[in-house]
Structure 1
């Protein structure tokens, strides 16, 4: 099967309006490091979706910041295409101070949709829970293994 046919099949399956991972990466901020791979991004979106079903996520910059300061644990997922950068540029530093794992995904629209919101979301914190423990642990392991920026 040629590359063109594969792309057409993917467009038919997804509805044709979604951007590819490469197109999404092109619009990512310069501070988006460590950026999750395509595979890890999908795992994170699925984990966010599972957590959102049982209300085990924190959504938005204010809420995530508040609960990090209270000492809550979890994986922080940031959207790499958020502008202006100043809105959330302090969060990776706060996460590193508190030893919280964090990663950037390329799209705030996809992050918002996976969290069950119709609006784009800049930041989501996935809280650990027994109902999706396997998925959470897998994501936690991979996010922790990502190289941190210098």
Structure 2
């Protein structure tokens, strides 16, 4: 997948290193049952105020199907980030299908909290 194929609307886009960190965290979140997959589920977690972080895939076709999420994230003050590949996001979510959006959810006493906070601050740096 070339950079040329990436939709300019997919902003902020994580670079390779950050993508790896994000996908690792998604994988852990899936193990800890702190993950919701799909644009609809991600929307629900935002509306319910239980989302820590939204991960979107830049190669969703058409990308408009998930562009309501960044607006909602900004509304709810939840960081969001794009990764290049829905296939990779799907794999990290532990499913064989491509996943265009995922939400890492809030959980009391979660062991992932430090990683989530660390990632949030990295994503906030992208937006500056």
TM-score normalized with structure 1 length: 0.78
Rounded Cα–Cα distance in structure 2 between residues aligned with 1:122 and 1:37: 17
Paired position in structure 2 for 1:119: 97
The yes-or-no answer on 1:134 pairing with 2:109 is no
SS in 2 for 1:146: helix
Flag the structure with higher strand content: 2
The 10-residue stretch of structure 1 (123-132 or 79-88) with the greater mean CA deviation from structure 2: 123-132
Alpha-carbon displacement from aligned partner over 1:33-66 (angstroms, at most 9, x marks no partner): 1111111110000000000011101110111111
Paired position in structure 2 for 1:59: 37
Gaps in structure 1 of 5+ consecutive residues: 1-22
RMSD value over aligned CA atoms?
1.4
Rounded Cα–Cα distance in structure 1 between residues aligned with 2:63 and 2:112: 31
Give the number of equivalent residue pairs. Answer: 126
Rounded Cα–Cα distance in structure 1 between residues aligned with 2:26 and 2:98: 14
Gaps in structure 2 of 5+ consecutive residues: none
Paired position in structure 1 for 2:127: 147
Q: 2:3 aligns with which of 20, 25, 32?
A: 25
Rounded Cα–Cα distance in structure 2 between residues aligned with 1:66 and 1:147: 24
Larger Rg: 1
Paired position in structure 2 for 1:6: none
